[in-house]
Structure 1
Amino acid sequence: MRHLVAVLAALVLSVSAAPASAAPSAPARVEPDFTGTVSMRGCSGAVVRPPAHQPSDPALVMTNGHCVRFLEAEEVVVDQPADREFTLLDSTGEDSLGDLRAATLVYATMSRTDVALYRLTATYGDIEAMGGRALELSAEHPAAGIAVGVVSGYWRHVYSCDVDGYAYRLREGRYTWHDSMRYTADCRTRGGTSGSPVVDVATGKVVAVNNTGNEDGERCTDNNPCEVDAAGEVTVRQGIGYAQQTFQIVPCLTGGGRVDLAAPGCGLPRPAA
């Protein structure tokens, strides 16, 4: 009996001394800040990079095509000289890390998507030397229901939003965009947020570029986009904001600050022959 008591006591001590099982950890969450974002006249933007890049590569700034100008419905601009300035923000958005200058408008369109890419005179290494960091473009199609941050360098404000789903076609005036990201109703983006990077809070990667919203409840007019499904049915969602996905850009970025529209998997529209 005494031996049994001693054995039981030893068992109790060994169990109590054993390390407790670790509770399942919550998924990591990245709180988007202004790292990599730029302030520009009338719009927002960000320094972006593909997953594979070199510090010596000229850096790219991404914004909307309509932040260049209102392009024709099927127009695609490739490798045009540019002279545009951007202010690189610090992580708080309160201070500037310095000015950046674009030498080339590498790509811009409002056909099927609404995006522009400027090639800077600065490299990615230069950006880091200034205390900044480029945002990585995700190569994956984002899921519905994810939490995102819409980071506006123009307003110096981060909009915390959720993705409600995707519109088969989004029509606004003479423009039609494909597979557009739709925010939930509490995501109240506004003019000046055009070109803001849309950052997945689960990964910290850019999954879209913010571009429009239905302001007045009108049907398919300027500043009042409507959704069109595969059967041609039209839905108007007043107050809802939208963004254009960016995963299809990643295969086009083949290094050296270039956009190769013939690269395998590149999903950007090409200029008309």
Structure 2
Amino acid sequence: MGKSWWVSACIVLAVAVWTATASPARHVQGKANSRDNGDLLASTAPGAQRFRAVGQLVGHLHCTASLVAGTATPSPDTPALVLTAGHCAARFGGNDVMVDQPAPNGWQFTPAYFFDTKDRHHPFAVDRILYATMKGVDVAVLQLRGTYGDMEKLGITPMHISQTAAVPEVTVELAHIPVMDVPGDELYLRHSVCHAGAHHRIYEDDPPWIWPDAGTIDCARVAQGTSGSPLVLKDASEIVGVVNTMVATTLDGCGLSRPCELVQPAGHSEAGAKYFVSAVEIARAITPESKLDLSRLDTGHDVVLKRETEDWITQSKIPDAQGVLHRATWSIRVEDGTRFIRYKTGLGDQLRCEDPAGYSSQIDAGTQPLTTLLVPEHEGIYMLCVIGQADASAPWQPEARATVVLHQIDDTPPSHPPGIALLGNGVGSVWQVNSYKSPNEITRVKVKFGPRDTTDCNDPAGYFTSRKPWEVLRKEQAPWRFCALGFDNALNASPPAHRDFP
């Protein structure tokens, strides 16, 4: 996990081919014995040899990674490659791609990270980030300073990445190193036997990453640190998925650490759901010589879009500088480097960017047609697919690698008010009071306070955004009424909350 889990929960999201659905994921409950239920894996346990290639990655986050190669017997002089989740390498935007960059100092990968072989753990420095992205998938390939020959000396054989992702109902195994809610002396490799479930188009963060084919899993002990872990078929050693995100049960709505399945008119967040992504594209790009052929991957050299507004979620009508309401627009600017574009829009759960059908004719990008392009008025999550051409002689960006953004129309106010908090137990000459948000449902709060008998919380006049940790109410001037008004990302107002003192 990672993300807000970027600092408190490192795992990430999602995958490769999308199977349309308009209902929440069905999570298949697997039957597992205690050793297979996320418990620590001993190096001597049956089948443990298959997971010697799995280890701890200390990179942008603490994650799990796997030694991989294009053949079972790579050249001993070839620098070793490891596979992990993209968010373990950097903090990405929804269409960002990183290609062949030096790794920061201090990054390292320690394979065979068993609890009973601590004295034999051998960390290898990470040399380069060969490829990392969260565009459509969440994967990264890192190159170590050590070679496959160095790994062979430690008895570690690389894993192979399947060119077929895990399908629903199949039994899988997960080797991972969670670090959240785990005792400090148990931060080692664990093993779960579980099941892959339904695939969904999901999104996460603000503005969101989009994964068109994220698979669900019911594996045990998935938590921060599990990101990047390999899924393999039962009793096999071929990687069929990479763990990338899960739904934090302590938050609400859709947002950071709350991935949502893209259904209409608003996303659905399945509490506790865990997701993996396919690494099929990586499998196709690793050569028999265990090199990464970047020409087979989306390297991100395509049309670059910039959102001109703060939020990707708005009401259907928004005010201009004079307060006059107008239809919401995409407000997307095409950055320099693209001469022509073609685009299409539609409902986010239905539109397929990879399908050539439905794209507009060629348009001069300099006219910035997407800045004033209207978003449909009805509530829902809409998708914009854009492909570009650098100049008249350059090839067009493939539809399968389109630049993709979302826009949600939300005219529904939050159903509950923000909370009101009192610092301490109120002892002393003042009450220290303020209101708090409810991520990702109430993202902004305004307050007001005054004499209890004359302060009307239902009157919108007088509310302000507090810049202080606490507002101070002097007891000598009591009784007070403290009001709080919450707003969601689209600036829909919640019911007001109030609390009287005393």
Q: Normalized against structure 2, the TM-score is what?
A: 0.44
Correspondence for 1:58: 79
Cα displacement (A) at 1:272: 2.6
Q: CA deviation at 1:98?
A: 1.3
Contact 1:139 1:247 in 2 (8 A): yes
Aligned partner (choices 198, 202, 221) of residue 231 of structure 2: 198
Structure-1 residue corresponding to 2:242: 209
| Cα distance in structure 2, aligned partners of 1:208 and 1:245 | 5
1:146-161 equivalent positions in 2, closer than 5 A: 146-154=170-178, 155=187, 156-161=189-194
**Counterpart amino acid of 1:75?**
D
The correspondence for 1:171, drawn from 198, 203, 210, is 203
Q: Secondary structure at the match of 1:162?
A: strand
Distance 1:270 1:246 in 2: 15
Other-structure match for 2:256: 222
Give, in angstroms, the shift of residue 234 of structure 1. Answer: 3.1
Give 1:269 shift: 2.8
Equivalence for 1:21: none
Question: What secondary structure sits across from 1:102 in the alignment?
Answer: strand
What residue number does 2:101 align with?
A: 80
Distance 1:53 1:249, change over 3 A: farther
Is contact 2:216–2:276 with CA below 8 Å preserved after alignment?
A: yes
Matches within 5 A, 1:112-261: 112-154=136-178, 155=187, 156-167=189-200, 169-173=201-205, 174-184=208-218, 187-216=220-249, 218-228=252-262, 234-261=267-294
Encode CA deviations 1:62-119: one digit per residue, 9 max, x unaligned. Answer: 1111111211221100101114211122666643441212211100001111111111
Structure 1 window deviating more from structure 2 (137-146 vs 30-39): it is 30-39
| Equivalent in the alignment of 2:298 | 269
What letter is aligned with 1:37? V
Shift of 1:31: 4.3
Following the alignment from structure 2 to structure 1, what is the Cα–Cα distance between the partners of residues 222 and 67?
21
Contact 1:34-1:93 within 8 A present in 2 as well: no
Distance 1:93 1:207, change over 3 A: farther
State the secondary structure of the residue aligned to 1:234: coil
AA matched with 2:108: E
| 8 Å CA contact 1:108, 1:115 repeated in 2 | yes
Greater CA radius of gyration, 1 or 2?
Answer: 2
1:37 aligns with 2:54: yes
Q: Using CA pairs under 8 Å that are at least 6 residues apart, name the structure with larger relative contact order, 1 or 2.
A: 1
Cα separation, 1, equivalents of 2:116 and 2:66: 12
- Deviation of 1:237 (Å): 0.9
Distance 1:90 1:136 in 2: 19
- The residue number in structure 2 matching 1:89 is 112
Question: For the structure 1 residues 226 and 74, does the alpha-carbon distance in structure 2 shift closer, same or farther, using more than 3 Å as the test?
Answer: same
Whole-Å separation in 2 of the counterparts to 1:190 and 1:136 = 25
Q: Which runs of 5+ in 2 are unaligned?
A: 1-45, 179-186, 303-502
Return the match for 1:101 from 120, 125, 142: 125
Instruction: Provide closer, same or farther for how the CA distance between residues 209 and 188 of structure 1 changes in structure 2, counting only shifts above 3 A.
Output: same
Whether the 8 Å contact between 1:106 and 1:258 is mirrored in structure 2 is no
Q: What percentage of aligned pairs have identical amino acids?
A: 27
CA RMSD of aligned residues (A): 2.4
Q: In the alignment, which residue of structure 1 is the partner of 2:66? A: 46
Q: State the shift of 1:131 in Å.
A: 1.5
Q: Please, which runs of 5 or more residues in structure 1 have no aligned partner?
A: 1-29
| 8 A Cα contact 1:48 1:60, kept in partner | yes
Task: Check whether the contact 1:162–1:187 (CA below 8 A) recurs between aligned residues.
Answer: no
1:51 Cα deviation from its structure 2 partner? 4.3
CA distance in 2, matches of 1:255, 1:103: 21
Report deviation, 1:255.
4.9
Alignment partners' CA distance in 1, 2:102 and 2:157? 25
Q: Which amino acid aligns with 2:56?
A: S
DSSP-derived class of the 1:251 partner:
helix
Aligned equivalents of 1:200, 1:190: Cα separation in 2: 21
Instruction: Indicate how the Cα distance of structure 1 residues 161 and 94 shifts in structure 2: closer, same or farther if over 3 A, else same.
Output: farther
Structure with the largest fraction of strand: 1
The answer on whether the counterparts of 1:34 and 1:153 sit within 8 Å (CA) in structure 2 is: no
Aligned residues between the structures: 237
1:123-180 CA-to-partner distances (Å, cap 9, x unmatched) read 223211111121111122322111122211354211222101211x110112111211
TM-score by length of 1: 0.78
Contact 2:247 2:259 in 1 (8 A): yes
